[in-house]
Amino acid sequence: MLRRKLLGGTAAIVVMALTAPAAYAGTSEALLKKLHDKGILDDAEYQTLLREEQAEQAKPAPAAQPAQAASGDGNLVHATDSGIGLVVGPATIRFSGSINGFYVHDRPDTPSATTAVVGGIANVGGNNTSAVRNGLLPGFLKVDATTNQGGWDVGAHFGMYPGINSAAWGALGANNGGQPTALATAGIDFRQTYLTLGHKGFGELKIGRDIGLFGSDAILNDITLLSSGPPGGNVAPANTTLGRIGSGYIYTDFQPQITYTTPSFSGLQASVGVFQPLQSLTAPAQSNSSPDFQGKITYDGKWSSVATHLWVSGMTQRHNALVGSSYTGRGLDFGGKFTVGPVALTGYYYTAKGLGTTVLNLFDTDASGHPRGSHGYYAQALVSVGKLGIGGSYGASYLDFANAADAAANPTLVRKNSSWVGQLRYGMTSWVTLIGEYVHSQADAHNGNKAQSDAIALGGILFF
C-alpha cells in the first residue's frame, strides 16, 4: 500500500485516494498514472511515488499472525484439536452434552388387594398412561476447564442436568414427581461440581460432587442408560425413568466426596474416597458422626480377541440413630463386560446389609433401626451390526426382612423387583441414536402380592 506523502496543495487528494488497500497487484501504479495524467501529480512527484511504491511491493509479505485474546496480553485463542472447545492461553475449555426424549406408554396393573407392594417398581392404576419424557438420563451440559500449573494437571468441572418435564419441587429437588400443568417449568439437577488435581506418576485427586464409586459401573454399563427401562411414575413424569435402578442394582447417586484414583498399571486402576454420610430415607432420625467410605478397582484389557472390562466396588457407613438402633450399612458388588466382535455381554451382582433397595438407604432398616439385607443382579447382551443394535436384559433386586417382628409389621414390603427389557437401536448419525424399547416390570411382596406392568418407549438421544 502506498505511503502517504504530503505534497503541497495535493496532499488531501493523494492521502484519500492512495491509502486504500490494493485489490490486486499493480492497482496502486495504475492509480498513480491516472493522477499524473489528470495533472494532479507533476512528473517529479509521479516518479518519486512510483519508485517508492515499487520498492514497497518488492518487500516480502509479513507472516500471518494467529488471533490473540481480546486482552492483548499475547494469550492465543484457538479451537481444540478434537471435540467442541477452545484453548484460551494456558487453559482448555471443553463442552459436552446430551439431549433425549421418549414417548412412553405404560399399561399398569389393576388395583386390588393382591397388587399392593410397598416399594414395588411395577405401576398400578386404573388407566393406561402416556408421557413425553426423559429416559434414564436427563439432558446434560458439562463444562470442563483444564490447565497445567507447576507440573500438575488442574481441572474445574461443572455438570448441569436439566429434564424436559416440569418439576414439582420438594425434598428431592428436580427428582421429585413431575408437575404436568401449564406454566410449570423444568428443573435443573446440578449434580456435578468438582476439581481435579493430578499428574502422570501421581494419579488424580477429586474434590467436589460427582458420581459415587459403589454401583457406578453397574449403571454406566446398563443398556437402559440410553433409553427408558421401567418408567416409574408415568402420570406425572419426574426428571428420569428408573432404567434398571431397583431391578438389578442400587443407584450409585452423585455425592460430595474426596476421592483419589491411582494411575493405570497395565489396565489395573483403583479408587478410594471419603464421602458425605447419607441419612436413611426410611429409618429413625440420625446424626451421623463418621463419613461414608467407598472404593473401586477396575481392569481393562484384551484376552485374545475379547475386550474386557472388570470391576469390583464397595462401601461402608456407620449410621448413628437419635432413637432406636445404630447400625452399619455396607455393600459389595462386582461385574464384567466382554466384547467379541459385534457382541457385548455384561453381568453384574451386588450384596448389601443396611443399604436398602432401589436407591441408597431406602427401606434399609425396620422401624427400630435394625438393618435389612439385600442383593441383586442383571445380565444383558447387545449385538451391533453396522448402525443397527439389538439388545436385551433381565435383572432383579431382592430385599429381606430384618427379623420376625419386621415381617409381622410389614407383610406387603417388596421382596423382589424384576424387569425384562428388549431394545432396538439405530445410529442415525454420529450424534443421534434412535431407540425403541419394550419393558415388562414385576414387583413381588413378601406376603405373595404381585403387580405387573408393561411399557413401550420410542424416542432418541443425542450426544456431542
Mean pLDDT across the chain = 88
Does 68 reside within a domain? no
* CATH, residue 114: 2.40.160.10
The DSSP bridge pattern shows strands 388-399 and 373-385 to be antiparallel
pLDDT of residue 2: 37
Could you give the C-alpha distances from 304 to 93, 221, 298, 301, 338, in angstroms and in order? 38, 22, 19, 10, 12
Does 71 reside within a domain? no
Same domain for 101 and 22? no
**Helix (DSSP H) and strand (DSSP E) numbers for the chain:** 5, 19
Does 53 reside within a domain? yes
Distance in angstroms (rounded) separating the CA atoms of residues 163 and 66: 40
Boundaries of domain holding 207: 79-463
Judged against a pLDDT cut of 60, whether residue 268 lies above it is answered with yes
Same domain for 328 and 251? yes
Does 66 reside within a domain? no
Judged against a pLDDT cut of 70, whether residue 41 lies above it is answered with no
Q: What digits encode the pLDDT tens for the residues 374-431?
A: 999 999 999 999 999 999 999 999 999 999 999 999 999 999 999 999 999 999 999 9
Does 69 reside within a domain? no
Alpha-carbon torsion angle 221, 223, 225, 230, nearest 10: -130
pLDDT of residue 235: 94
pLDDT of residue 352: 98
pLDDT of residue 66: 45
pLDDT of residue 68: 43
Half-sphere exposure of 2 (CA within 13 A, CB side): 24
Q: What digits encode the pLDDT tens for the residues 131-151?
A: 999 999 999 999 999 999 999
Same domain for 293 and 223? yes
Which residue blocks in 128-281 are alpha helix, DSSP H? 216-220
Does 74 reside within a domain? no
pLDDT of residue 20: 38
Same domain for 253 and 358? yes
Instruction: Check if the beta carbon of residue 204 is closer than 8 Å to that of residue 260.
Output: yes
Q: Angle formed by the axes of helices 27-37 and 43-58, to 10°? A: 180
For the chain, the domain total comes to 2
Same domain for 163 and 33? no
Same domain for 266 and 124? yes
Residues linked to residue 109 through DSSP beta bridges, in sequence order: 124
Higher pLDDT, 245 or 35: 245
Same domain for 333 and 303? yes
Distance in angstroms (rounded) separating the CA atoms of residues 241 and 311: 25
Judged against a pLDDT cut of 70, whether residue 8 lies above it is answered with no
DSSP helix/strand/coil, 13: helix
Same domain for 185 and 99? yes
Instruction: Check if the beta carbon of residue 249 is closer than 8 Å to that of residue 378.
Output: yes
Question: Which among 386, 454, 382 has a CA at the least distance from the CA of 104?
Answer: 454
Distance in angstroms (rounded) separating the CA atoms of residues 421 and 92: 40
Per-residue three-class SS string for 351-406: EEECCECCECCECCECCCCCECEEEEEEEEEEEEECCEEEEEEEEEEEECCCCHHH
Distance in angstroms (rounded) separating the CA atoms of residues 444 and 418: 9
Cell of 173: 429437588
Judged against a pLDDT cut of 50, whether residue 65 lies above it is answered with no
Q: What digits encode the pLDDT tens for the residues 192-224?
A: 999 999 999 999 999 999 999 999 999 999 999
Same domain for 150 and 27? no
pLDDT of residue 29: 65
Length of the chain as a residue count: 464
Give the burial string for 348-358 (b: 16+ CB within 10 Å, else e). Answer: bbbbbbbbbbb
Same domain for 316 and 221? yes
What φ, ψ does residue 328 adopt, rounded to 5°? Answer: -115, 125
Same domain for 398 and 274? yes
DSSP helix/strand/coil, 236: coil
Same domain for 239 and 302? yes
Does 381 reside within a domain? yes
Cell of 243: 432404567
pLDDT of residue 195: 98
Does 64 reside within a domain? no
